[in-house]
Amino acid sequence: MRKISAAIVGYGNLGKSAEKVIASSSDIDLYGIFSRRDSLDTGSPVFNVADVEKHSENIDVFYLCLGSATDIPEMSEKFARLACTVDTYDNHHYVAKHYEQMDEIAKASGNVSIVSTGWDPGMFSLNRVYASAVLPNSDQHTFWGPGVSQGHSDALRRIDGVQKAVQYTLPDEGALDKARQGNAQGLTGQQAHKRQCFVVADESEHARIEKEIREMPDYFVGYEVEINFISSEEFDRDHAGMPHGGYVITTGQANGTQDTIEYSLKLEKNADFTAAVAVAYGRAAVRMKEQGVSGAKTVLEVAPYLIHPAPLSELISKNV
């Protein structure tokens, strides 16, 4: 079986993690990295993103390692016209719109675009559906953190005047306990979480930046938000790591008995895990295209065996 030829678009934390994951994948080769920057600190081939069409015939799948705030909505359709794509778009409110836009382009181009991979959306999405299918009259809650949100941190860094920024999502422990006991009916995500921001910026910009953070729709409005302005040295010392994780907790009755399904993730480095999920779904995108499939897909529409490097017969013998 031939190896999949992959390219990475963007070389921030996620792009660097995808490069490492691909290097450890026996069935995927990295053709190169496409960036708007002239040079990158990498041994992989680097190309200007403006020249992508010159290389597209050599590429099976683009990993769009771009921010959800602006880059994915503005740039992803261009790549879907050229080859299969995988992205990690994580603005839950607009996933359906993004899916619809990518579906039209991918179908017209005969490619497969798998959207919103990662852990949430992504692995958590799968567990929410599996658990609610088994317990259809259930009470279900998703908790994020404690840890760094890449999407929210990227949104902070895009505010004019912000030099460095990170956002931690912190779940409420009391809300977690209620969910596990099946007593959290009506609990909202805003009530169950706190958003903690650490920002480096000139002091003269603090008031304006804080106002923009608190008024940012889809990211911070409606949440308890703590904003801390710190020095660049403190940021580098205390906020260089990228841990994250969370829980999907579903309680209900299968046949008159109380049941609980809990799925959890504890991630030492958010970007590494998110990249690992995206790379696996790139394998599925290429396989689906070879089967004659086209259009946008979410993780809910991809058969599990398609993301795994092992053949289906081996997966059945070991896991069923």
Residue 186 in marked binding region: no
The answer to whether position 174 is within a domain reads: yes
| Residue 298 assigned ligand-binding role | no
Cβ contacts of 201 within 8 Å, gap of 6 or more: 161, 162, 163, 209, 229
**For the segment 98-113, what is each residue's pLDDT rounded down to a tens digit?**
999 999 999 999 999 9
* Cα–Cα distance, 166 to 182 (Å, whole number): 33
| Residue whose C-alpha is closest to residue 259's, from 118, 126, 140 | 140
CB-CB contact of 168 with 246 (8 Å): no
Those residues whose C-beta lies under 8 Å from the C-beta of residue 269, and which sit 6 or more positions away, are 17, 241, 242, 243
Any binding-site annotation on 251?
no
Write the CATH number for 23: 3.40.50.720
User: Is position 219 annotated in a ligand binding site?
Assistant: no
* Residue 1: predicted pLDDT: 66
- Is 12 known as a binding-site position? yes
> Which conformational region is residue 273 in: left (phi greater than 0), alpha (psi within -120 to 50 degrees), or beta?
alpha
Tens of each residue's pLDDT in the chain, 320 residues: 689 999 999 999 999 999 999 999 999 999 999 999 988 999 999 999 999 999 999 999 999 999 888 899 999 999 999 999 999 999 899 999 999 999 999 999 999 999 999 999 999 999 999 999 999 889 999 999 999 887 899 899 999 999 999 999 999 899 999 999 999 998 888 889 999 999 999 999 999 999 999 999 989 999 999 999 999 999 999 998 888 999 999 999 888 888 999 999 999 998 999 999 999 999 999 999 999 999 999 999 999 999 999 999 999 999 99
- Of 189, 223, 242, the residue at which a domain comes to its end is 242
- Among 125, 37, 47, 142, which residue's Cα sits nearest to residue 88? 125
Of the candidates 60, 55, 123, the one whose C-alpha atom is nearest the C-alpha of residue 86 is 60
The size of the chain, in residues, is 320
Q: Residue 7 corresponds to which amino acid?
A: A
> Is 195 assigned to a binding site?
yes
The count of domains in the chain is: 2
List the structure tokens of 289.
């295209």
118 appears as a binding residue in the annotation: yes
> Does 279 map to a domain?
yes
User: Is 223 labeled as ligand-binding?
Assistant: no
38 is in an annotated binding site: no
The three-class DSSP label of residue 166 is: strand
Q: Is 35 annotated as a binding residue?
A: yes
244 is in an annotated binding site: yes
Do residues 141 and 184 lie in contact, with contact meaning Cβ atoms separated by under 8 Å? Answer: yes
Residue 187 in any domain: the answer is yes
User: pTM of the predicted model, to two decimals?
Assistant: 0.86
Query: What are the pLDDT digits (tens) for 1-51?
Result: 689 999 999 999 999 999 999 999 999 999 999 999 988 999 999 999 999
Is residue 180 situated within a structural domain? Answer: yes
Whether residues 288 and 231 fall in one domain: no
Identify which of 210, 190, 211, 188 has the alpha carbon closest to the alpha carbon of residue 199.
210
Annotated ligand binding at 68? The verdict is yes
Residues 292 and 208 grouped into a single domain? no
- CATH number of the domain bearing residue 230: 3.30.360.10
Q: Which residue range is the domain that position 186 belongs to?
A: 147-242
Q: Is residue 14 a known part of a binding site?
A: yes
- Res 19: pLDDT: 98
Q: Rounded distance, CA 186 to CA 227, Å?
A: 27
Look at residue 131 and tell me if it is in a domain: no
Distance of CA 140 to the CA centre of its chain: 21
What is the arrangement of strands in the sheet containing 61-64, beginning at the earlier edge strand?
46-48, 28-35, 4-9, 61-64, 84-87, 112-114, 295-297
Known binder of ligand: residue 239? no
Domain final residue, candidates 242, 259, 284? 242
274 is in an annotated binding site: no
| Residue 136 annotated as part of some ligand binding site | no
Q: Which of 242, 263, 294 is the last residue of a domain?
A: 242
Same domain, 21 and 88: yes
The pLDDT assigned to 257 comes to 86
67 among annotated binding-site residues: yes
65 annotated as belonging to a binding site for a ligand? yes
Q: Confirm or deny that 88 is annotated as ligand binding.
A: yes
E-strand stretches of the chain? 4-9, 28-35, 46-48, 61-64, 84-87, 112-114, 139-144, 147-148, 164-171, 193-200, 224-229, 244-253, 258-267, 295-297
